[in-house]
Amino acid sequence: MNGGAKQMLRVSVVGWSMSCRGGSCRPKRCLMTLDVVERTGHSLNGWSAVSVLVENIFCFLFCGRKVILLVILLFLHDNLDMTKIYPRESAEIEYKRSVTGSFLKTVSAFSNTGDGVILFGIDDKTRESCGLPDPEETYRQIKNKINGSIHPEPVYSLSINDEDHTVKLEVREGDSKPYYYGQTAYIRKGSSSVPMSSLLLERLILKRDRRSFDDLPAPEGSYSFSGFEEEARNRFGLEQLGTDAQKSLGLRDLNGQVTVAGALLADKNTFPGMDLVVLDNDDLYGEREKVDGISILQQLESAVAFFRRYYRREAVTGNLQREEIFLIPESAFREAVSNALVHRTWDTPSNIVIRMFPDRIEIQSPGGLPDGISEYEYLHKDLSVPRNVTLATLFLRLGLIEKLYMGVRRILRSYQGQYRQPDFDFTPNSMTVILPVLNQKPSLSLSEVEVIRQFQDMETLSRAELSTSTGFSRSKLGLILKKLVENKVLAVEGGGRSTRYRLNPNAENLK
């Protein structure tokens, strides 16, 4: 099994318990059983198992005047009842009593999903070794079946365990996905291998061929580009959007067929759009608007116009001039919506959803982070992996988004010095950008303010130091610190006894 696999020995030992009460002691025969678990690769014999048993059981129990002394009498190795039990089947491990064609589905699934192990000669119900009559012949059968049935060729290794007459097949996740068994590609779902969905299959093929979905041919239809042509003329001086220009910009492929990117930028199309909805903080609906069937450039402008109706205000300055102000930075909203349009998954029929609350806006787009990029890299390392390369390039040329790796920085820059900062929420199938209203400050109790004041001259403080300086009890201080951390007033550094608290830079003016 893998490095993380374990083996278990069920050990039964006969012992005696000695009950002593009032000066009188009576022995009593009993049977002790313990499941001993150790990492694979360590020798588990009878004596090592018993040593673990004794270490776990040999103790004194004091209760009033009663003293029960448990004494374990060790017997010879041959008197121990030992059974090797393997872990349960999982997403990474599977058992087979013998070689059948079904194991090839699992080879395909491991190659497409992640590293895994198949052990031959193990009963999948009892998880005990039943052995193989001829491990070497089984070894050859497995190799021949894989080489003749799985394509492209998977990455795997085989080994024989001479002690229990089993064969281990280790399959590595491949770089040439999808891997097929016959005409079907499989993935791992729990401890089962199931056929891959057509959507995932198409995405893997595009990734293998280094193509993006927006490069594919669009559904048949009549497409016009008057809106895009005007935008391109104003933004980067395009004189005429003829067929050759459309090909060079990626609106059409080399065969002259309109691409998905072209359809999305056309005046009309059949792709998903946006849902814009106004809510109060109790999730009660107000105005709603659905925007679809039009160019994503028009969708963007419709969203900005909707945004302005609720988050734009007019203020009178000191010289009695009217000034336009926004409760949420328009530049941040425009960047977030543009990124949602450019980086969403267009092969799913879901709309972008923009929820507008009194204290924030949530922009949720279909599709999580692209493969090959982590949340930390996306938020802090200016790393961008465009999902729709043609759309990203065109939006960049039109000046609608920052450089491909600068969008998050532009959003954060518009909140510089603010207590409440934008937040980003990721799931495997969606991404949500949360833009708070400007100039919001938390409602703090006097006790919370007292804790914040302790950071006047100190960068970091421990809980013990805060308890001493404030005089608050441990339980009261714990509740205060929890709330301040949740409200992002304080940040936590370290862990355990080394935990220290630091005032967030955006909360400096709360001292």
Q: In this predicted model, what pLDDT tens digit does every residue of 223-251 receive, in sequence order? A: 999 999 999 999 888 888 999 999 999 99
Cα(211)–Cα(199) distance, rounded to whole angstroms? Answer: 15
Burial 408-445 (b: 16+ CB within 10 A, else e): bebbeebbeebbbbbeeeeeeebbbbbbbbbeeeeebe
Residues whose CB falls within 8 Å of the CB of residue 404, separated by 6 or more in sequence, listed in order: 384, 386, 392, 396
Residue found under tokens 């799985």: 150
Starting from the edge strand earliest in sequence, which strands make up the sheet with 180-181, in order?
150-151, 180-181, 184-189, 192-195
Residues spanned by CATH 3.30.565.60 within the chain?
274-436
29: amino acid identity, one letter: R
Residues spanned by CATH 3.30.950.30 within the chain?
93-208
* pLDDT computed for residue 82 by the predictor: 52
What count of residues does the chain have? 511
Three-class secondary structure of residue 453 per DSSP? helix
Cα(154)–Cα(177) distance, rounded to whole angstroms? Answer: 9
The answer to whether 474 and 466 are in contact (CB under 8 A) is no
Query: Does residue 178 have a cis bond before it (omega within 30 degrees)?
Result: yes
Cα(276)–Cα(453) distance, rounded to whole angstroms? Answer: 42
Burial degree of 67 (CB within 10 A; 0-12, 13-18, 19+) = middle
∠ CA(481), CA(485), CA(487), 5° rounding? Answer: 120
Cα(44)–Cα(148) distance, rounded to whole angstroms? Answer: 39
- Which helix (H) or strand (E) covers residue 395, if one does? helix 389-397
* pLDDT computed for residue 484 by the predictor: 92
* pLDDT computed for residue 471 by the predictor: 93
CA torsion 70→71→77→82, rounded to 10°? -10
Fold of 274-436: Heat Shock Protein 90 (3.30.565)
Nearest to 125 by CA among 94, 165, 169: 94
Three-class secondary structure of residue 120 per DSSP? strand
Nearest to 119 by CA among 137, 101, 142: 142
Q: pLDDT digits over 194-215, tens only?
A: 999 999 999 999 999 989 999 9
Cα(329)–Cα(324) distance, rounded to whole angstroms? Answer: 12
The answer to whether 46 and 13 are in contact (CB under 8 A) is no
From residue 452, alpha-carbon distances to 100, 456, 466, 470 in Å are: 67, 8, 10, 10
CA torsion 199→200→206→210, rounded to 10°? 150
From residue 288, alpha-carbon distances to 60, 279, 437 in Å are: 70, 9, 20
Token digits of residue 361? 């806006």
Q: pTM of the prediction?
A: 0.71
The answer to whether 338 and 404 are in contact (CB under 8 A) is no
Superfamily of domain 93-208: Schlafen, AAA domain (3.30.950.30)
* pLDDT computed for residue 316 by the predictor: 62
DSSP lists the bridge partners of residue 71 as 16
- Which helix (H) or strand (E) covers residue 195, if one does? strand 192-195
The answer to whether 187 and 109 are in contact (CB under 8 A) is yes
The answer to whether 490 and 448 are in contact (CB under 8 A) is no
DSSP lists the bridge partners of residue 94 as 118
* pLDDT computed for residue 444 by the predictor: 85
Residues whose CB falls within 8 Å of the CB of residue 435, separated by 6 or more in sequence, listed in order: 328, 329, 332, 333, 336, 360, 361, 363, 411, 422
Token digits of residue 119? 């052990």
Q: Structurally, what CATH architecture does the domain formed by 446-510 represent?
A: Orthogonal Bundle (1.10)
Sign of the CA dihedral running 304, 310, 316, 322: positive
Cα(462)–Cα(499) distance, rounded to whole angstroms? Answer: 6
pLDDT less than 50: residues of the chain: 1-23, 25, 27-50, 52-81
Token digits of residue 19? 């009950």
